[in-house]
Every structure is written in C-alpha cells, then in structure tokens.
Amino acid sequence: MSSLANKQILLGVTGGIAAYKSADLVRRLQDAGASVQVVMTPAAQEFITPLTMQALSGYPVHTQLLDPEAEAGMGHIQLARWADLVLIAPATADFMARLSQGMGNDLLTSICLATAAPIALVPAMNQGMWRNAATQANLDILIDRKIHIFGPADGGQACGDIGPGRMLEPLQIIALTSQLFTTGSLAGKKVVITAGPTREAIDPVRYISNYSSGKMGYALVQAAIEAGAQTVLISGPTQLAKPARAKCIDVTTAEEMYAASLQEAQDCDLFIAAAAVADYRPTELAPQKLKKGDSESITLTLIKNPDIVASVAALERKPFTVGFAAESEQLINYARAKLERKNLDLVIANNIAENHIGFNSDDNAVTVIDKNSTVEISQRSKQQLARELIACFAQKLASQL
Ligand code: PMT
C-alpha cells in the first residue's frame, strides 16, 4: 500500500518547459492514492493549459490570488490548510528566488507562506541558471528553511545544453514524495474498522439494536489515519460526523456489515471489530407494521447472524485481527474465551458494568489481551485511548512480519 494513499497534494506548476511532465505527475500521484489540486502561475499557463490539469485532477485549477470567485470558495488560506504537502514541479529559478525572499506576490507563493504543510520543490531550468550563484544562494536559504529539494537531474536539456537542471521524471518524484510520508507507524498499511451498532428490523418501524454510539470505533479510525494508514470505516447507524480521510461504508444490518467487512478485509493488514453487532436477527421481517393484538405476549423467533470478526480471522490471508469484548461479568475469562474461539490476535475487553465507560461514554478503560499477556489501560478519553491502542496494534503487527 502506498504511503501516499489518502494524502492531499497541492501541486504547484510554474513556467518551464518541463510543465508538460506535471500532467503525468498528476496521474501518477492519483494512482498512488493521493488527491491532487493544481495551482498554476501565469507563466505555467503558457506551457500547459489549466483545462488539461483540471481534466486530470478532477478539481478546478487555481490560478489567481485575487480571484473573487476562488476567494469565496477555496481561497489561498483554505488551499494552504487543505494540503498535506505542497509539491512544486517544475520549480523555476524565478520561483525559487521569490520563495526564498518570502514574497507572496502570486497565489502559489502566498500558499507557500501560509501553509503549515511541508513544501517540496522539483527544480527545472537551464544548467547555467541552476549553476548561477544567485540560484545557489536561494537554494541554500530554501534548504535552511527545511524545504525539500528533489533533483535536479543532470543531462541533455530542451535548449540543447548538457548539465544539471533537468526536472526529475514523475516516477522519481513519486518515490521521493512517498518517502516524506513513511513516518507514521501504520504508513503503507490498510486498516479496516467496524463501528457503531447494527439494526435488525422486526417490521417497517421497529428493530433490535444496542447502545453503541460509534465513538470508540470512530476514534480508532481517526488514530489510524493519523498513523498514516489507508483507513476504511464500516459503520452502523450513528450520529457522528464521518472522518474526512477514511473510506466510509454505511451499513445497517449485521449481514450488510458482514458483506462489507469480508470484501474490505481481503487485502487489509489490520482489522479492528469495534462494532456492537447484533448476535441475532428476527427470522422473518414482517412486511407491515405489527399490530397490537389481544394476546398479552408475543414471541419473536431469532436466527443467528454471521460472526464478522471470526470470519475475517478465518480468511486464508488473515489480517492482524482485533476484536472487542463487551462484558458485564467475568471480564477477563469471557474475553479470553472470545480470543480463542474467534481466533483473534488481540481482544480489547470492555467492562460495560460501569456506566461511565464502554457504551456511549466519552471515556473508556480496557484490558488488552493476547495469548500470553493481559495489560490494563486505565480510564481516559476514547480519543487518547484510540491513539494508544493503534500504537500497540502497529507494534504487534510490525513484530509479526
Ligand atoms: O460505540 P461506543 O458507544 O463508543 O461503545 C464502544 C463499544 C462498547 C461498543 C466497543 O468498545 C465494544 O466493546 N464493541 C464490541 C461490543 C460487542 O458487541 O462485543 P461482543 O462481545 O458481543 O462481540 C465480540 C466481538 O465480536 C466484537 O469485536 C464484535 O464486533 C464482534 N462480533 C460480534 C458479533 C458478530 N455477529 N460479529 C462480530 O464481528
């Protein structure tokens, strides 16, 4: 899995003949899983049209600092915030000069000043311009400011000269860009997380469900994204906002969650079952609303739902599989029994007898159980706990390889 998966790359294109390669670069970045928005300087538009870049990137191309329409929608500050990386390819001598002096006289330099994201330049220019003392002094300033410089390559140039100043090829740029994102503990890994409750319909207006809010699962999704994973959330019905950088699949029933999980788990590295899945569903769905009859009681016949996490753990290419165990008594015994019965790598035991942790609370306290050990994690916010759990899963996953 590419470490560029889910990354948001702002590609700046400045005015050099190598701008034609930027079109290919957009495609290659997308192939690696990144979203790409393009900003072009006026000079870049002399070499390649914004329409080409718009068609390739799937986003409108940004060209002007003082464009009232753009400022109302996605202004330079929003673009600066959107980017996980500002990648400028090609970067001309003029652009390097302006950037090194902290100028903000066009959209691209303003974004560079405003962004908190890393910036990478891919210089492209005539060899004499590259070797010029002014360009080299500007380069030193940019390197001092921790701006990444990719290339340039040495060789034949469009003008007939031979020497340093050729822009790197798109695949070389992709390799260097990927390296910038390989720091997270789950970089390059695919993580699938189930969250929330399932609902099992009785009739058109009634269902069987539970009190899961989805908070624990969604916090794990956020932590997995922060750790650099390509993250898939399979969620039952919740009131929570969907995390921006995950692939989100909405389901209602256990059977739907089962189908989505088995599909997504085929090529995943880590599967986390935080959902509270209904173990049983009504054998039949009444086509019309059930009417209150004369009888003092009615009988609902239930049938077992498929066990999602156990089925994932039974896959031929089994991911590292983590289950949760919500228990109101004999926490460790019952959780350990689930670890064994479902063939899990880890189980996170939740004591739901205490009402300030577990279902629908903002905090949780758990016990992490594997074949050989039992580690307690005391009460803390679900967000903080999720980060610690993800770090623990990443470490165990790495030690398995
Ligand atoms: O959503 P919140 O409000 O934040 O609450 C979090 C939580 C308490 C729901 C969560 O942390 C939790 O404990 N989830 C699992 C609850 C549960 O259903 O446990 P269980 O003991 O019934 O199931 C054991 C494991 O098997 C779980 O990983 C469950 O997702 C999985 N399972 C269960 C049944 C089934 N048919 N398929 C499954 O995959």
pLDDT tens for the chain, residues 1 to 401? 567 888 899 999 999 999 999 999 999 999 999 999 999 999 999 999 999 999 999 999 999 887 666 545 557 788 999 999 999 999 999 999 999 999 999 999 999 999 989 999 999 999 999 999 999 999 999 998 989 999 999 888 888 888 899 999 999 999 899 888 766 889 889 999 999 999 999 999 999 999 999 999 999 999 998 888 989 999 999 999 998 778 899 999 999 999 999 999 999 999 999 999 999 999 999 999 998 888 899 999 999 999 999 999 999 999 999 999 999 899 999 999 999 999 999 999 998 888 788 899 999 999 999 999 999 999 899 998 999 999 999 999 998 86
Q: 64 — alpha (psi -120 to 50), left (phi > 0) or beta?
A: beta
pTM of the model: 0.67
- Each domain of the chain, given as residue ranges in start order, spans 2-180, 190-400
DSSP state of 359: T
273 Cα–ligand 1 center, Å: 7
B/e letters for 173-202, b = 16+ CB within 10 Å, e = fewer, are: bbebbbebbeebbbbbbbbbbbbbbbbbbb
What's the pLDDT score for residue 370? 95
Q: Is the CB of 335 under 6 A from ligand 1?
A: no
CATH of domain 2-180: 3.40.50.1950
Q: Is the CB of 326 under 6 A from ligand 1?
A: yes
Among 293, 207, 318, 211, which Cα is nearest to 252's? 207
Query: Using CA atoms, how far apart are residues 314 and 261, in angstroms rounded to an integer?
Result: 13
Cα atoms found within 13 Å of the Cα of residue 343, Cβ hemisphere only: 11
Same-fold call for 2-180 versus 190-400: yes
209 Cα–ligand 1 center, Å: 12
Q: 209 — alpha (psi -120 to 50), left (phi > 0) or beta?
A: beta
What are the CA-CA distances from residue 283 to residues 194, 202, 302, 303 (Å)? 24, 9, 5, 5
**Continuous H helices in 145-214:** 170-180
290 Cα–ligand 1 center, Å: 29
Q: Is the CB of 325 under 6 A from ligand 1?
A: yes
Q: In what order do the strands lie in the sheet with 8-13?
A: 35-40, 8-13, 85-91, 119-123, 148-149
Q: How far is CA 101 from the centre of its chain?
A: 34
What's the pLDDT score for residue 182? 66
Contact 74, 62 (CB under 8 A): yes
Taking the CA of residue 274 as reference, the ligand 1 atom at the shortest distance is 14
What is the CATH T-level fold of the domain 190-400, as seen in this structure? Answer: Rossmann fold (3.40.50)
Q: How far is CA 398 from the centre of its chain?
A: 19
- Cα angle 58, 63, 64 (rounded to 5 degrees) comes to 140
Crossing angle of the two packed helices 50-57 and 19-31, in degrees rounded to 10: 10
What token pair was written down for 354? 């205490």
265 Cα–ligand 1 center, Å: 17
Beta bridge partners of 375: 368
Q: Is the CB of 273 under 6 A from ligand 1?
A: yes
What's the pLDDT score for residue 303? 98
Query: Using CA atoms, how far apart are residues 336 and 318, in angstroms rounded to an integer?
Result: 20
Q: Is the CB of 360 under 6 A from ligand 1?
A: yes
Taking the CA of residue 324 as reference, the ligand 1 atom at the shortest distance is 28
Residue with tokens 């610690």: 388
DSSP state of 391: H
Q: Is the CB of 366 under 6 A from ligand 1?
A: no
Q: Is the CB of 254 under 6 A from ligand 1?
A: yes
Pocket test for ligand 1, best of 309, 347, 382 (most atoms within 8 A of CB): 309
Query: Using CA atoms, how far apart are residues 87 and 394, in angstroms rounded to an integer?
Result: 29
Task: Give me Rg for the CA atoms of the chain.
Answer: 27
Closest protein CA for atom 5 of ligand 1: 359
Q: Which residue type occupies 331?
A: L
What's the pLDDT score for residue 187? 85
Q: Is 159 a catalytic residue?
A: yes
Q: Is the CB of 216 under 6 A from ligand 1?
A: yes
Annotated catalytic residue: which of 159, 248, 268, 392?
Answer: 159
Contact 233, 246 (CB under 8 A): yes
What's the pLDDT score for residue 333? 95
